[in-house]
Amino acid sequence: MPDSFFVTQQKEENSILNIKRRTKMIVDAVIVGLLFYFTFPLLTGYCAHQYGRSFVIWFTIGCILPIVSFFILFFIISWDEKTTPKHKLSRRERVESEKLVKNLVENLSELSSTGTTRKDFSKQRT
């Protein structure tokens, strides 16, 4: 066989390896790009959730306007904190208190379903 056949075969193998390397580099670049892109929406959604707002809504807004939504959220939060009087519960405290009340009501309904009555509690005190 002539040497040109082996050279041609080796060039084909090298070109296939180069294509595989380039494909791997492109996939890696896309993954890094997506991670970078979703950093701000995740951060925006997390901050919104911490202040009693919807994670999903703010994550979606963050996907549409990645960096701008973060600043919009903090503007809304700071404006809400400034305009809300101190004697009123903040949005986050209101959500937490609603969760506590819900748990309390569920526990009371469990007590009533087990047959425990108020008379039973009064007998225990005496």
* Res. 11 pLDDT band, cuts 50 70 90: low
Q: Are 60 and 72 in contact (CB under 8 A)?
A: no
> Hey, where are the domains in the chain?
86-126
Q: Are 43 and 70 in contact (CB under 8 A)?
A: yes
Q: What is the pLDDT of residue 59?
A: 94
pTM for this model (two decimals): 0.53
Closest C-alpha to 59, from 74, 71, 69, 72: 69
Q: What is the pLDDT of residue 43?
A: 93
Q: Quick one: 12 exposed, middle or buried, by C-beta within 10 A (0-12, 13-18, 19+)?
A: exposed
pLDDT in tens, 71-82: 999 999 888 878
Is 100 a residue whose pLDDT tops 70? yes
pLDDT in tens, 16-65: 778 888 899 999 999 999 999 999 999 999 999 988 889 999 999 999 99
DSSP structure class, residue 77: H
* Structure tokens, 28: 């890696």
Token pair 């996907």: residue: 63
Question: HSE-up of 14 (CA within 13 Å, CB side)?
Answer: 6
Is 122 a residue whose pLDDT tops 60? no
Q: What is the pLDDT of residue 118?
A: 55
